[in-house]
Amino acid sequence: MLSVSRRVLMAAAFAVALAPAATLPTKAEDLPEIEFLYSPFADYAPFFVAEDLGYFDEFGVGVTLSPKGNTAETIQMLASGNIEAGAATWASSLFNALDRGATVSIIATSARMPNTVPSPSPFMVSQTAWDEGIRTVADLKGKRIGIPGPGGFGMYSVAKALEKGGLTIDDVEPVYLPPPATAAAFANGGLEAGWSIEPFAHQLEKQGLGRRLVEDHTFGTELGLIAFNQDFVEENEDAVVRFMAAYLKAARQLDNGGWEDDKILEIVSNYTGTEPDALRGIPYTVRSEDGAIDMESVREQEEFFRQRGALEYEGNSDIDSVYRRDLLQRANELLASKK
């Protein structure tokens, strides 16, 4: 049975959810703190900007940004309630978890590949391999290819790149390692090619360790999503809406010239460990203006993992049952009301 204090808190939260916008709490201390899991990649820049430029505070929600591991770990921590929120890629582990009934709520896109080159996530060949005569994707048959993991966006992206040369994942030797480790593997001859993402792709080029081989393989592909623990969402919808409004404000700022701002580059540098000058001018991921997810792109990735034998179920996963479009709409409305 709920304690008196617990009932009071839940009643208060319910009253807040029904209250008109003008009477909602405006201070971060009135809402629960949100711990958000991130990776030190440039595509997480909106969260860095929202935190350091005070957008989370502006919308009255306290946020702590914490570094994370892979998608499987993120979803597990969210589903178990050990963390409130995080971003993850569309991956076989996520699809399987959703089919098993993982208690997560998906709110919005976190990043999408642009329809232009240079790509923020290119398929690269090591300079050593290039010098040894590997100049096309077809030349990589039987070679060692770096992939972040066996069931995430990195594998999907590599597979799409290999298609350009008539190859599949089964035609190469996958080597699973995180993007920061690619530099050493390229330098010591441990890989002939591999997946990368900014700012690491630019670093490989700058250090003379790698070259972009394919960049037009994932145009418009959904890269990641923002998810919350489902129980947290049900009890704290207002906090989620305010978090998302701050995120959308930062995302729109970045997608409309923010990367030209030295102050923003300094912020992203602090989280990614990349010097501001190295970030200046790099290609970056984009997002739909309203944060909506392109479900057709998601289903294409789901089908890829099914063909790989990585899914534990038949048919489409029931994403719609956990995709809280209503909260995303409220976040957009809240942001619009601030203008």
Average pLDDT rounded to a whole number, residues 294-319: 96
Contact by Cβ (8 Å): 138, 266: no
Rounded to an integer, the average pLDDT of 188-200 is 95
pLDDT band at 11 (very low <50, low <70, confident <90, very high): very low
> How confident is the model over 113-171, as pLDDT tens digits?
999 999 999 999 999 999 999 999 999 999 999 999 888 999 999 999 999 999 999 99
Residue-wise pLDDT for 203-238, tens only, equals 999 999 999 999 999 999 999 999 999 999 999 999
Closest CA to 119 of 191, 202, 60: 202
Among the ranges given (65-79, 185-199, 289-303, 321-335), the one the predictor scored with the smallest mean pLDDT? 65-79
The arithmetic mean of pLDDT across residues 67-80, rounded, is 87
Q: What is the mean pLDDT of residues 13-25?
A: 39
C-alpha 76/C-alpha 93 separation (Å) is 10
pLDDT at 69: 73
- 71 pLDDT above the threshold of 90: no
Beta carbons of 191 and 185 less than 8 angstroms apart: yes
Per-residue pLDDT at 184 exceeds 70: yes
Q: Predicted confidence band at 278 (pLDDT cuts at 50, 70, 90)? A: confident
Across 265-286, average pLDDT: 92
* Residues 321-327, mean pLDDT to the nearest whole number: 97
Looking at every residue in the chain, the average pLDDT score rounds to 90
Q: Of the candidates 53, 54, 52, 51, which has an alpha carbon nearest to the alpha carbon of residue 85?
A: 51
**The predicted structure's pLDDT at residue 281:** 79
In 3D space, the residue among 136, 177, 134, 171 whose CA is nearest the CA of residue 154 turns out to be 177
| Percentage of the residues of the chain whose pLDDT score is greater than 70 | 91
Euclidean distance between CA atoms 252 and 46, whole angstroms: 9
Q: How many degrees, rounded to 5, is the angle at CA 229 between CA 195 and CA 105? A: 75
Strand partners, 193: 125, 145
Separation CA 182–CA 171 (nearest Å): 20
Lowest mean per-residue pLDDT among 52-56, 186-190, 263-267, 283-287? 283-287
Q: What pLDDT was estimated at residue 68? A: 83
| H or E element in which residue 65 lies | strand 63-67
What pLDDT is attached to residue 29? 56
Question: What is the reported pLDDT for 27?
Answer: 53
Statement: residue 6 has pLDDT above 90: no
Q: pLDDT-based confidence at 16, cuts 50/70/90?
A: very low
**pTM metric for this prediction:** 0.87
Model confidence at 13, pLDDT cuts 50, 70, 90, reads: very low
* Average pLDDT value for residue range 166-177: 97
